[in-house]
């Protein structure tokens, strides 16, 4: 086939695939919006924003931002190299020392949560190992596992009897077995049983890997996450804390014992080959982290808003999953959830539809991300909008 004809065939094939996505209700597009919380603007219209992971309302706090900017007038904007070259700037060292003081474990900052999960797992897990992951772990974890050479099985979501069955059946066949889970699950809003996971890890001499993306900042009296709150952090071999949610920043930090941290510096490909985060971004993360620990009132408000919204929706007859600040409201098929999202948007509520294949078929949902920034009146406005959708 001539090269030009082959190229045309390729793009025809792409158009057919895109059309198939449209027909299946799986079409996605990037929408430009003016971020805000509790309200955002899209195409000149104001909406209550229930699609943001800004759980403590920090990204849009002008006073908070102003205090930070007054402190970083001389901070460099660009890293200009990887951390192993010129990018390991002073804010990195200061922040990692700050994290070690808070948690009592060495810390290593990565460029993103995705970089952490796709960089740590392939560095540590290899042929002759087995990974047992919760069925609902984030795509970045799956990508990290698949990039390794380990065998891989998934246990039913939060089903620890199934996990134990897999451990009992497989443990003797492998050098190392890793148990992998999130602490709060991003699509179901429910929590892992950390005590059960640690018990299974110890009884079967496994290793434990936990992602705290949705619990850092929100859980524990000091906001340091579920592992710290439950008193199990020392028994977790790798704890990953993405900073793009409640911390309103970018990047992720990994907590691990010193030999493991040093090994990652030497072997994790995203760490070695990616340009480091801008120093000003690392400084922002350190600033947020230092303030976050004293934000008990914001965490209390977040819990109150979440409980009020969950209770109100369930009283209307909605099926609401989870026990956290993530409230998945299940509508069923893709068409139903898109219709509900459009109805909510018509009433000034910006709530994203999550469809198959991101969630299982028949489990399409509106995923509500609650924030401490919402007032009681705004929670009532959200409930009224959902009540209208029911009619």
Task: Assess whether pLDDT exceeds 80 at residue 228.
Answer: yes
Counts of helices then strands in the chain (DSSP H, E): 14, 14
For 260-311, the pLDDT digits (tens) are 999 999 999 999 999 999 999 999 999 999 999 999 999 999 999 999 999 9
Mean per-residue pLDDT, 224-245: 98
Q: How far apart are CA 136 and CA 154, in angstroms?
A: 9
Percent of the chain at pLDDT exceeding 70: 99
Structural domain spans, the chain: 24-56+296-390, 71-292
> Helix or strand or coil: residue 253?
strand
Answer whether residue 1 shows pLDDT above 80.
Answer: no
pLDDT exceeds cutoff 70 at 335? yes
Weakest mean pLDDT among 72-76, 101-105, 200-204, 317-321: 72-76
What is 144-175 written as a DSSP string?
HHHHSSSEEEEEPTT-HHHHHHHHHHHGGG-S
What per-residue confidence (pLDDT) applies to 60? 86
2-48 pLDDT, tens digit per residue, is 667 888 999 999 999 999 998 887 788 887 777 778 999 988 899 99
Task: State the pLDDT at residue 358.
Answer: 84
pLDDT number for residue 34: 75
Select 24-56+296-390's CATH number: 1.10.10.350, 1.10.287.4070, 3.30.43.10, 3.90.1150.10: 3.90.1150.10
Helix (H) or strand (E) holding 121, with range, is: helix 113-124
Fold (CATH) for 71-292: 3.40.640
Specify the pLDDT at position 78: 87
* Cβ burial, residue 293 (10 Å; 0-12/13-18/19+): middle
Contact predicate 189/324, CB 8 Å: yes
The mean per-residue pLDDT over the stretch 226-255 comes to: 98
The pLDDT of 377-384, averaged and rounded, is: 98
Higher per-residue confidence, 352 vs 225: 225
- Residue of higher predicted confidence among 89 and 241: 241
Each residue's pLDDT tens digit, 299-318:
999 999 999 999 999 999 99
pLDDT at 90 over 60: yes
How confident is residue 94, by pLDDT bands cut at 50, 70 and 90? very high
The answer to whether residues 253 and 261 touch, using CB atoms and an 8 Å cutoff, is: no
Q: Where are the beta strands (DSSP E) in 243-375?
A: 252-255, 319-320, 326-332, 349-350, 352-354, 364-369
Residues 154-200 have pLDDT tens digits of: 999 999 999 999 999 999 999 999 999 999 999 999 999 999 999 99
Among 4, 59, 52, 135, which residue's Cα sits nearest to residue 350? 52
Residues that are catalytic = 53, 138, 182, 186, 211, 214, 245
């Amino acid at each position: 086939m001539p090269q030009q004809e082959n190229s045309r065939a390729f793009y025809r094939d792409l158009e057919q695939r895109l059309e198939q996505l449209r027909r299946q209700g799986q079409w996605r597009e990037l929408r430009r919006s003016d971020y805000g919380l509790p309200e955002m603007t899209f195409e000149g219209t104001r909406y209550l924003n229930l699609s943001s992971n800004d759980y403590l309302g920090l990204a849009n706090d002008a006073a908070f931002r102003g205090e930070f900017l007054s402190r970083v007038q001389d901070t460099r904007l660009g890293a200009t190299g990887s951390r192993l070259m010129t990018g390991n700037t002073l804010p990195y060292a200061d922040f990692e020392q700050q994290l070690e003081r808070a948690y009592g474990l060495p810390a290593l900052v990565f460029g993103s949560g995705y970089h952490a999960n796709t960089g740590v797992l392939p560095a540590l897990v290899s042929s002759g190992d087995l990974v047992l992951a919760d069925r609902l772990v984030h795509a970045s974890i799956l990508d990290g596992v698949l990039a390794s050479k380990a065998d891989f099985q998934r246990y039913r979501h939060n089903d620890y009897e199934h996990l134990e069955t897999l451990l009992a059946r497989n443990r003797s066949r492998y050098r190392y077995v890793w148990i992998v889970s999130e602490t709060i699950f991003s699509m179901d809003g429910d929590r892992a049983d950390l005590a059960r996971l640690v018990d299974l890890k110890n009884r079967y001499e496994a290793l434990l890997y936990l992602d705290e993306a949705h619990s850092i900042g929100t859980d524990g009296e000091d906001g340091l996450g579920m592992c710290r709150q439950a008193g199990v952090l020392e028994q977790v071999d790798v704890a990953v804390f993405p900073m793009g949610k409640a911390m309103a920043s970018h990047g992720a930090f990994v907590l691990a014992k010193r030999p493991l941290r040093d090994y990652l510096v030497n072997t994790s490909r995203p760490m070695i080959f990616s340009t480091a985060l801008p120093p000003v971004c690392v400084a922002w993360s350190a600033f947020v982290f230092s303030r976050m620990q004293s934000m008990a009132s914001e965490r209390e408000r977040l819990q109150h808003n979440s409980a009020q919204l969950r209770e109100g929706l369930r009283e209307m007859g909605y099926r609401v999953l989870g026990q956290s600040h993530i409230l998945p409201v299940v509508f069923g098929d893709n068409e139903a959830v898109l219709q509900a999202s459009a109805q909510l948007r018509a009433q000034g509520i910006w709530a994203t539809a999550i469809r198959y294949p991101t969630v299982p078929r028949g489990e399409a949902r509106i995923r509500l991300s609650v924030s401490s920034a919402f007032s009681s009146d705004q929670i009532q406005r959200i409930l009224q909008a959902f009540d209208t959708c029911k009619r």
